[in-house]
């Protein structure tokens, strides 16, 4: 199908889950990562938001700029550029190393919009993408009681040849099973499973 006919169809259908229109490069990075974090899509550079084909001057310099923007995403994004005469289609495949981000943050394509993710949404996204392992996730514990079993910690210290007077929190922080935030000790699920008083309370 001739490129002109493709553009007519695309501009008539408008923006959507897999289609974004742009007339300049500003904000391009966030659209790229939004598509990569979703199911992929195409950015048509040279079509205005209302679907009007305004065109861009296709050049090696412009293509190099687009590629630089993709390379500066984290992780870098492989993109494919397709020329439709006065419009450049930037094809972004669904990412295999999610979540992706750019200088503006983390974004996800939802319908015709690229929405910025909050901190909690990023964490949930990373967990779904298996970037954060189950045992490395922090578990909310009741501040009113100590969830750790001192006998288990003592046994561990003896097996490792460490001083029995070693402070439990220092031990867990040093072996990567806990961290302190605002004077509160946060325990990973691994810490509670291995050293907890009641490990069955923490589902596997």
The confidence band for 204, taking pLDDT boundaries of 50, 70 and 90, is very low
Report whether 171 contacts 191 (CB < 8 A): no
Q: Is the pLDDT of residue 56 over 70?
A: yes
118: tokens are 């909050």
pLDDT at 1: 45
Record the pTM: 0.65
pLDDT in tens, 3-25: 568 899 999 999 999 999 999 99
Residue 202 DSSP symbol: S
How many Cα atoms occupy the beta-carbon half-sphere of 106 within 13 Å?
16
Do you find a cis peptide bond into 75, omega within 30 degrees of 0? yes
pLDDT at 14: 95
pLDDT in tens, 146-165: 788 888 888 888 888 888 88
d(CA 19, CA 46): 13
From-to residues of CATH 3.30.950.30 in the chain:
3-128
Of 46-50, 74-78, 115-119, the poorest mean pLDDT is in 115-119
pLDDT in tens, 82-119: 999 899 999 999 999 889 999 999 999 999 999 999 87
Q: Is the pLDDT of residue 143 over 80?
A: no
3-class DSSP state of 153: helix
Handedness of CA 16, 84, 46, 25 (dihedral sign): positive
Top-level class of domain 3-128: alpha beta
Q: Strands of 178-181's sheet, edge to edge?
A: 138-139, 184-188, 178-181
Partners of residue 89 on adjacent β-strands: 44, 82
Q: Is the pLDDT of residue 65 over 60?
A: yes
Helix (H) or strand (E) holding 73: none
Q: Is the pLDDT of residue 166 over 80?
A: yes
């Amino acid at each position: 199908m001739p490129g002109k006919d493709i553009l007519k169809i695309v501009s008539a259908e408008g923006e959507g889950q897999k289609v974004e229109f742009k007339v300049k490069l500003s904000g391009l990075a966030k659209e790229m990562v939004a598509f990569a974090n979703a199911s992929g899509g195409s950015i048509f550079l040279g079509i205005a938001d209302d679907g009007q084909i305004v065109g861009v001057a296709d050049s090696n310099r412009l293509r190099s700029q687009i590629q630089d923007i993709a390379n500066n995403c984290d992780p870098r994004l492989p993109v494919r550029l397709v020329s439709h005469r006065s419009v450049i289609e930037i094809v972004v495949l669904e990412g295999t190393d999610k979540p992706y981000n750019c200088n503006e943050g983390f974004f996800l394509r939802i319908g015709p919009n690229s929405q910025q993710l909050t901190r909690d949404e990023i964490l949930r996204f990373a967990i779904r993408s298996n970037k954060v392992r189950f045992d490395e996730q922090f578990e909310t514990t009741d501040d009113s009681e100590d969830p750790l079993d001192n006998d288990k910690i003592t046994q561990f210290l003896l097996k490792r040849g460490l001083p029995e007077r070693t402070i439990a929190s220092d031990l867990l922080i040093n072996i990567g099973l806990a961290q302190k935030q605002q004077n509160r000790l946060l325990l990973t699920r691994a810490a509670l499973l291995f050293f907890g008083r009641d490990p069955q309370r923490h589902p596997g």
